[in-house]
Amino acid sequence: MRPLIVLLLALAVAGCDRGKPETPQPAANTLATADPSNATASAGDGSPVSSGTSKLDISHAGEKMPAIPFTGPDGAPATLTANLGKPLMVNLWATWCAPCLAEMPTLDALATREKDRLHLMVVSQDLAGKRAVDPYFASRKFTALQPYLDKQNVLMEAVKADTLPVTILYGADGKERWRVVGGMDWTGADAKAIIDKALS
């Protein structure tokens, strides 16, 4: 039992590994205790954030968004490239990932606040798809977020992400500006600063 507790604490602090856990994924609310308010990011040079829970990464800046299809909220195919012409923020997450769940309400608030400046998509990497994501969304009653699904994790592969959550900001031209690896408080001053700098 003790190794399981250590593993859960490690996931809550550092982000979630890319692969599916060997054991069944826990229910969405069992790991939702991570506090994204401790995460900060540098708005200046892209240096790692101070808390150890998230990192601003500019090493992929300039890369084009992938055109690979995944599943939209209505069950139809969706792509990132359908949003060209307006800045797009993409968050890859899963219901079994504590930092993902902790930052989700702040992403909903950001999507509401920034709706005129950018589009925000949260794309689940849950292998169970709708069975895992729909109950979570129903219980949270988000006002701006819609549940996109990527059961095959094709986006993670395409953007070269190996942990969750990862949030990528693309400009209106479809090129990456930066990514934040790990959970973050998207309502905080640091998040606002890096978004404002990228979109100015």
Q: What is the pLDDT of residues 136-146, one digit of tens each?
A: 999 999 999 99
pLDDT of 30 above 50: no
Q: pTM value?
A: 0.78
Q: State the CATH number of the domain containing residue 69.
A: 3.40.30.10
Helices (H), the chain: 2-14, 98-113, 130-140, 154-158, 189-199
Give mean pLDDT, residues 77-90: 97
For residue 124, give its domain range. 2-199
Q: In total, how many domains does the chain have?
A: 1
Question: What's the CA gap between 86 and 170, in Å, rounded?
Answer: 9
Q: What is the pLDDT of residue 16?
A: 72
Task: Please say if the pLDDT value at position 7 is more than 60.
Answer: no
CB 40 within 8 A of CB 110: no
Angle at 101 (CA atoms; ends 99, 103), nearest 5 degrees = 70
Q: How many residues does the chain have?
A: 200
pLDDT at 52 over 70: no
Between 56 and 33, where is the model more confident? Answer: 56
What are the C-alpha distances in Å from 178 to residues 46, 50, 90, 113? 8, 17, 11, 20
Average pLDDT over residues 148-157: 97
- Give pLDDT tens digits for 102-137: 999 999 999 999 999 999 999 999 999 999 999 999
Please report how the helices 98-113 and 130-140 are oriented relative to each other, as an axis angle in degrees rounded to 10: 60
